[in-house]
Amino acid sequence: MSSSFPPFTCLAAFEAVARRRSFTSAASELHLTASAVSHQIAKLEQFLAIRLFERTAHNVELTIAGDDYLRRVSGAMAAIGAATDNARKGVRNTLHVHSTPSFATLWLMPRLTDFAKDHPSISLSMSASVVHSDFSAGHTDIDIRYGAAHWPQLAVKTIFDEQIMPLASPSFIRRHRITTPEDLMNVPLIQSTVGVLQWPDWFTAQKIAHTPGSYAYRFDRAFMALDAAVQGLGVAFESTSIGEPHLRKGRLRPVFASGEYLPVQAHFLVYPERHAQRPEVMSFVDWVLERAASEPDREMRKAGWKRPSRRPRPEPGKA
């Protein structure tokens, strides 16, 4: 074993004491004596040349260095535990995917049945949050991220070219008699606060000088903004790719028949280059990219509208 890797028995003792804040409780969990656990911690502290715990008569607390070390090694230990559990249960080809919540809910989940049919040998484990995965923790094989693609140390694959446009429920459009872009200045607008493109970008592209200074509703998740639009609360400025389930079922539609939109690339498959050596990783990457490339025109026809012939552009640096 590499000299930079401490004995696993020391790591197990450290994690148990840090979690339970007690040498006695950790010793009971590990089926060791408290003295043996203390010896393992001392050995690890000597190996690292740092103090991991502050010991008092009544409790045990992590030092700043110990807390930092715990955050770095706990993920790797959890990954080892999961791999061991899978091996015991005979589970092979496990793939761990992390995604942004809106993409997972509205795009990925409805298609997982097809992935399972295409790749029955892959056991998929999924999680979702807006926080990017820390690949050094060993929890994640692939991260599906939203935002500007600035991850120079990682492989980055654009999932699709998205069309961001005003979307609303058919009843809302009829009720407010929206026919021109200027009409949007007089109706409730829904803001997706984390969107790469925002309402002012669209109004600028439409050469409308006055942009909204306030919004009827604000949400920090695309799926929430879309749900609000489905409920008739206002007009959302969202991606037709992410809003596809609502468009296909007629719950939402483009506000304007010509479908003026702004283009953007904002959803990405991200992973360390070394992960590309795993067939499961590349199978998932290829499957997502193939599905994303094959669906837009078909889904837009289902939704009852056509791709516009002209494409307004946002200001430089906006997209």
What pLDDT, on the 0 to 100 scale, is given for residue 317?
A: 35
Query: If we measure between CA atoms, which residue out of 258, 269, 271 comes closest to residue 163?
Result: 258
So what's the pLDDT on residue 258?
75
Structure confidence at residue 209 (pLDDT): 81
pLDDT of residue 303: 47
Instruction: Report pLDDT digits (tens) over 37-80.
Output: 999 999 999 999 999 999 877 788 999 999 888 888 877 777 67
Return the bridge partners of 311, or none.
none
pLDDT higher than 70, residue 220: yes
Question: Are 198 and 204 spatial neighbours (Cβ–Cβ below 8 Å)?
Answer: no
Q: Is this structure's pTM higher than 0.75?
A: no
| Phi-psi map region of 21: left, alpha, beta (phi>0 left; psi -120 to 50 alpha) | left
Per-residue burial over 220-246, b = 16 or more CB atoms within 10 Å of its CB, e = otherwise: ebbbbbbbbbbeebbbbbbbbbbbbbb
Q: Which one, of 63, 57, 58, lies nearest residue 41 by Cα?
A: 63
What pLDDT is recorded for position 270? 96
CB 162 within 8 A of CB 241: yes
Q: What is the pLDDT of residue 103?
A: 95
pLDDT digits (tens, 9 = 90+) for 22-49: 898 989 888 899 999 999 999 999 999 9
Question: Residue range 140-144: average pLDDT?
Answer: 93
Closest Cα partner for 121 from 88, 91, 141, 143? Answer: 91
pLDDT in tens, 300-319: 544 444 444 344 434 333 33
Mean pLDDT of the chain: 85
DSSP, residue by residue, 126-161: EEE-SSPP-GGGT--SEEEEES----TTSEEEE---
Residue 292: pLDDT above 70? Answer: yes
pLDDT on residue 85? 61
Domains annotated for the chain, with CATH where assigned, are 8-88 (1.10.10.10), 92-160+266-298 (3.40.190.10), 162-264 (3.40.190.10)
- The two tokens of residue 91 are 């589970």
As given in the structure block, the two tokens for residue 58 are 């009544």
- Stretch 81-108: mean pLDDT: 78
Q: Kindly state the average pLDDT of the residues 192-214.
A: 87
- At 121 the pLDDT is 87
Give me the mean pLDDT over the 146-152 stretch. Answer: 90
pLDDT at 210 over 90: no
* Average pLDDT estimate for 173-190: 93
pLDDT score, position 318:
38
Query: 307 or 201: whose pLDDT is higher?
Result: 201
Task: Output DSSP code: residue 184.
Answer: G
Q: Are 235 and 255 in contact (CB under 8 A)?
A: yes
